[in-house]
Amino acid sequence: MGEIRNSTQKSKFRQLVGSEKLQHMRNFSKSSTVATILAPLLCIPLYLDNTHPVQFYTWLLAMAVAVVSRFILLKRIQPQNNTKRDFILLNTAIGIVTFVWGMGWFVFVQPSDMSSYLMYQIISLTVLFVGMVGYCIDWKTFSSFVIPLKLPELVFITLNFHQIVWPIALGSMVAFYLALKMGFLFAKSWEKSFSLRLRNDALFDQLIEEKNASMAANIAKSEFISTASHDLRQPMQSINIFIDMIDPAELKDSHSSIFIRMRKSVSVLNRMFNTLLDISKLDSNFAINERAFHLTEIINILEDRFSDICGQKSILLSFVNGHLAVTGDPNLLEQILRNLLANAIQYTDKGAITIAFSGQSGTLDFTVKDSGCGIPAEDLPLIFKEFYRSDHSRSQYDGLGLGLSIVNRIVKKIDGTCTVRSGVGQGSTFSIHTRFPVLEKSEAAHHRPMPIERDESLDKSKRLLSAEALVQLGIIENDDALLNAYQQYFTQSGYAVHIIPHEPAAFEAHLLSMPQLDFILSDFRLGEHDGIYFIQKLREEFNHDIPACIVTADTSPQHLELFSQHNIEVMYKPIDIKSVEAFISARTR
337-353 pLDDT, tens digit per residue, is 988 888 888 888 888 99
Q: State whether 435 and 512 are in the same domain.
A: no
Q: State whether 401 and 476 are in the same domain.
A: no
Beta strands of 36-118 (E only): which ranges? none
Q: Select from 347, 149, 263 the least CA-distant residue to 574.
A: 263
Residues 285-300: tens digit of each pLDDT = 566 778 888 998 889 8
Give the pLDDT of residue 558.
65
Alpha-carbon distance of 579 to 170, in angstroms, equals 100
**What is the phi/psi pair of residue 568, to 5°?**
-125, 125
Q: State whether 311 and 377 are in the same domain.
A: yes
**What is the phi/psi pair of residue 10, to 5°?**
-65, -40
Alpha-carbon distance of 428 to 422, in angstroms, equals 4
DSSP 326: E
Alpha-carbon distance of 340 to 333, in angstroms, equals 11
Q: State whether 63 and 93 are in the same domain.
A: yes
DSSP 511: G
Q: State whether 98 and 136 are in the same domain.
A: yes
Q: State whether 438 and 465 are in the same domain.
A: no
Strand partners, 570: 550
Say which residues have a Cβ less than 8 Å from residue 125's Cβ, sequence separation at least 6.
172, 175
Q: State whether 432 and 310 are in the same domain.
A: yes
Q: Are 549 and 477 in contact (CB under 8 A)?
A: no
CA angle 445, 448, 454 (to 5 degrees): 145
Domain boundary (396, 412, 443) is at: 443
Query: Is residue 264 included in any domain, yes or no?
Result: yes
- What CATH number does the domain containing 564 carry? 3.40.50.2300
Query: Is residue 387 included in any domain, yes or no?
Result: yes
* Structural domains in the chain (count): 3
- What CATH number does the domain containing 273 carry? 3.30.565.10
Q: Is the pLDDT of residue 336 over 60?
A: yes
Q: Are 563 and 571 in contact (CB under 8 A)?
A: no
Q: Select from 229, 328, 324, 309 the least CA-distant residue to 557.
A: 229
Query: Is residue 40 included in any domain, yes or no?
Result: yes
Give the pLDDT of residue 501.
92
Q: Which amino acid is at 440?
A: E
Query: Is residue 195 included in any domain, yes or no?
Result: yes
DSSP 311: H
Q: State whether 388 and 471 are in the same domain.
A: no
Residues 75-84: tens digit of each pLDDT = 888 766 678 8
Q: Are 91 and 141 in contact (CB under 8 A)?
A: yes
Q: Is the pLDDT of residue 521 over 90?
A: yes
Higher pLDDT, 49 or 462: 49
Q: State whether 399 and 536 are in the same domain.
A: no
Kindly indicate the confidence band of residue 364, based on its pLDDT and cuts at 50, 70 and 90.
very high
Kindly indicate the confidence band of residue 498, based on its pLDDT and cuts at 50, 70 and 90.
very high
Q: Are 355 and 365 in contact (CB under 8 A)?
A: no
Residue 408 Cα distances to 280, 334, 343, 413, angstroms: 15, 14, 13, 9
585 by Cβ neighbours in 10 Å (0-12 / 13-18 / 19+) ranks as middle
Residue 22 Cα distances to 9, 42, 138, 226, angstroms: 20, 30, 9, 55
Domain ranges, residue 119: 2-207
Query: Is residue 513 included in any domain, yes or no?
Result: yes
Residues 387-434: tens digit of each pLDDT = 555 555 544 445 555 678 888 888 888 889 998 898 888 889 999 999
Alpha-carbon distance of 434 to 359, in angstroms, equals 10
Q: Are 490 and 484 in contact (CB under 8 A)?
A: no
Alpha helices in 245-294 (DSSP H): 253-283
Q: Select from 476, 516, 471 the least CA-distant residue to 493.
A: 471
Q: State whether 404 and 499 are in the same domain.
A: no
Say which residues have a Cβ less than 8 Å from residue 94's Cβ, sequence separation at least 6.
29, 70, 131, 135, 141, 144, 145
Query: Is residue 295 included in any domain, yes or no?
Result: yes
Give the pLDDT of residue 49.
83
Give the pLDDT of residue 356.
94
CA angle 370, 373, 377 (to 5 degrees): 100
The DSSP string of 80-97 is TT-HHHHHHHHHHHHHHH
Alpha-carbon distance of 530 to 191, in angstroms, equals 61
Q: State whether 512 and 366 are in the same domain.
A: no
DSSP 573: S
**What is the phi/psi pair of residue 190, to 5°?**
-65, -40
Helix 2-31 to helix 83-108 angle, to the nearest 10 degrees?
40
Q: Select from 35, 29, 101 the least CA-distant residue to 72.
A: 29
Cα 99 from chain centre: 61
| Mean pLDDT of the chain, nearest integer | 80
DSSP 516: P
Residue 43 Cα distances to 63, 139, 162, 182, 540, angstroms: 11, 29, 27, 29, 91
Residue 117 Cα distances to 57, 121, 167, 387, 570, angstroms: 20, 6, 13, 86, 94
Give the pLDDT of residue 245.
77
Residues 26-40: tens digit of each pLDDT = 888 888 888 888 888
Higher pLDDT, 409 or 236: 409
Cα 145 from chain centre: 53
Alpha helices in 348-476 (DSSP H): 391-394, 403-413, 441-444
Query: Is residue 298 included in any domain, yes or no?
Result: yes
6: helix, strand or coil: helix
Alpha-carbon distance of 510 to 504, in angstroms, equals 10
Alpha-carbon distance of 406 to 386, in angstroms, equals 8
Q: Select from 360, 300, 369, 309 the least CA-distant residue to 330.
A: 300
Domain boundary (410, 443, 476) is at: 443
Q: 351: phi > 0 → left, psi -120 to 50 → alpha, else beta; which? A: left
Alpha helices in 324-430 (DSSP H): 330-346, 391-394, 403-413
Give the pLDDT of residue 314.
87
pTM of the model: 0.46
Q: State whether 106 and 134 are in the same domain.
A: yes
Query: Is residue 174 included in any domain, yes or no?
Result: yes
